[in-house]
Amino acid sequence: MAVSQVGWIGLGSMGIGMSKNLQKYLLQSNAPPLVYTNRTLARGDSLKEIGAIPAGSVSEVAMKSDIIFSCVSNDEVLHQVADEIVSSGDISKKVYVDCSTVHPDTSVAVSNKISQAGGEFVSAPVFGAAPMAEAGKLIFVTAGPSTAMSKIAPYLNGVMGRSVIEMGTDVSKSSLLKIAGNICVISFMEVICEAHVFAEKTGLGSDILEKMLGDMFGPVLESYSKRLTTGAYIPPPGGKAGFDVQLAIKDAKHALNCAQEAGTRLDVSEVALSHLEKARNLMGDRPLDSSSIYGAIRTESGLDFLTDLCKKRDGKP
């Protein structure tokens, strides 16, 4: 059996960790090294150091690869990538796997483009933040042709992820489940941010609240809390957010759009979106994490957007 050549497109905060784990697996398996590209190719220097091969364009990755993975920032970029793959030449028998979070309609449209050109498309969004991507502990949600799913299976569980939720052949379903998960995530963050501001305003204190969250609800919600108490919700000037506020706004809008189309409401998501947009408007000159909801709620309660820890870190009075 011929060994597949694997390609990668997109090296954002998620893609860089995922692609590193994939390259390590290929290296251990004596498979051809990963071929990768990114808008800023230097972003892949750490990937190149472990043997992956840079390519100058999406088309080059597509031409050289049998299986192509991507993880990109939004729906528009995904359409552009798909168009470049289709225009790269003969893609019959190639498998394109996208791990981005996009609207279900986008997944369907991209699947149609790829299948009409003779290839196979798998929608495979992931649950987990950048540290989980780095650790190879993501949860994949996959949908697409069974033949394609079997081809990509060796690269998912135990390589880039810790589990796979299979959603059948309808690629819109994996995007919908990812959106449902995002509804939970953004709602958790909204509530935790509100609770922290409550704790500060009442004199209860953030430390004891965080201990309760960890003891009561476990490490996941405790990690959300730590994004606030460590100052990660607003990285220092020139720093990089773990999950950029603009991506969170995009995800929240997708959820609200899908809910409206289905004839239901997402009240907490609406409030969270307003806080995300307020944070961006208040601190648009700074990198902001999705947890910057906290700063917006702080200002509504008469507190400064930045905690004392953040001010000290940034050298502010």
- As averages over each run of 10 residues, the pLDDT of the chain (317 residues) reads 88 96 97 97 96 98 98 96 97 97 97 98 95 96 98 97 98 98 97 98 97 96 96 94 93 97 97 98 94 98 97 91
* Alpha-carbon separation of residue 266 from 176, 189, 226, 252, 258 (angstroms): 14, 15, 26, 10, 10
pTM of the full structure: 0.92
- Helices 104-116, 75-87: inter-axial angle, 10-degree rounding: 0
Strand order in the sheet with 126-127: 126-127, 138-142, 161-166
**Residue-wise DSSP of 173-221:** HHHHHHHHHHHHHHHHHHHHHHHHHHHHHHT--HHHHHHHHHHHH-HHH
Is residue 253 within 8 Å of residue 280, measured between CB atoms?
Answer: no
Burial class (CB in 10 A: 0-12, 13-18, 19+), 2: exposed
Domain ranges of the chain: 6-169, 176-314
In sign, the C-alpha dihedral spanning 15, 18, 23, 24 is positive
Give the position of tokens 């989980």.
132
pLDDT at 2: 66
In b/e form, how buried is each residue of 222-246, taking b as 16+ CB within 10 angstroms?
A: bebbbbbbebbbbbeeeeebbbbbe
Give the position of tokens 């790269």.
88
User: 87: which residues sit within 8 A by CB, 6+ positions away?
Assistant: 59
The residue length of the chain stands at: 317
pLDDT at 242: 86
Burial class (CB in 10 A: 0-12, 13-18, 19+), 203: exposed
- Partners of residue 33 on adjacent β-strands: none
Q: Is 317 helix (H, G, I), strand (E, B) or coil?
A: coil
Q: How far apart are the first and last CA of the chain?
A: 65
pLDDT at 62: 98
Instruction: Say which CATH topology domain 176-314 has.
Output: N-(1-d-carboxylethyl)-l-norvaline Dehydrogenase; domain 2 (1.10.1040)
Q: Domain 6-169 has what CATH class? A: alpha beta
pLDDT at 110: 98
Residue 287: name the closest of 234, 247, 227, 243 by CA.
234
Amino acid at 159: V
